[in-house]
Amino acid sequence: MLNPELLKEIISKSGFAIEKEPKVSSIGGGSINQAYKVSTDNFEIFIKLNTGVNPSFFEVERKGLEILSENSEFEVPKVYSVDQTGNYSFLSMEYFGAGKRKPDYWYTAGSRLAKMHKISEEKYGLSFNNYMGALPQDNTYHDSWADFFIERRLKPQVELAINKGLMDHSHKSLFEQLYVKLDSLVPKEKPSLIHGDLWSGNIMTANNGEATIIDPAVHFGHRESDLAMTQMFGGFSTEFYDGYESVYPLEPDFSSRIGLLNLYPLLIHVNLFGLGYLRETINNVKRYI
């Protein structure tokens, strides 16, 4: 549980006054940070804490949430404070509880994502680097999506896995065979503003009953990456994909590319959580070469 003095300082830095003892609830579901709901009669705050991250970790999350808020119709939580206190880095923001979903929750969420994906830049990447989970994500710009995906997504994770003893050079050779073919495997499209880590744990119900998206790894990438990521742990409602297609139809045979596009998050899972994800990763590579 949160140390009372630490809690008091975080609340103060978030712009709130403590008039009575707040109620603190630990929130599970994350594997990287401590997370808490803090509430009184006057406010509700969601707090993330971590002692082992770079000071920029929460700052770039704040910037990502602001990009999503300014460039989408999603109800995105407002960030109150990003700061450090003692050994802790923290982010505090508006708390969104498990509100009652509106009847068109999934369809509207899909259509809003499609509208966001229509926002574009000339190149793939972003003006600043951020994180995917707890791992640094290099967003250096590239003209080609294939080059961006190879140089800024796959290669760094493959090298990290080799350095950690999770993969060997035979695995690297398989990826190198894939790199040669990659440009021909995915439809050419303009860069889209994407969430970047859109699994089921990062979409939730806002207080107004509509979908909100959180924990972004935002950048300008291939829009199919977001759609593929939604399929990693069971997929979203079919209404979500119907809503998306109503605004920005996908190119034919998208389902055949899901395993390819999910190689990056799979490699992230290998490097964060170990060998349990390696077989699926390598099987996907072999499938496409």
* Residues with active-site annotation: 197
What kind and span of H or E run contains 45? strand 44-50
Q: How far is CA 73 from CA 59, 108, 109, 117, 278, in A?
A: 22, 10, 9, 12, 37
Specify the residue for token string 């404070």: 81
Beta-strand pair 211-213/34-39: unpaired
Phi, psi of 201 (to 5 degrees): -75, -10
Both tokens assigned to 234: 């069971």
How far is Cα 38 from Cα 46, in angstroms, rounded to an integer? 6
What lies within 8 Å, CB to CB, of 160 at 6+ separation is: 135, 271
- Count other Cβ atoms within 10 Å, centred on residue 74: 22
**Which of 148, 124, 142 has the alpha carbon at shortest distance from 221?**
124
Beta-strand pair 88-94/79-85: antiparallel
To 10 degrees, what angle do helices 105-117 and 238-247 make? 40
> Which residues of 156-286 form beta strands (DSSP E)?
192-194, 203-205, 211-213, 219-221
How far is Cα 125 from Cα 122, in angstroms, rounded to an integer? 10
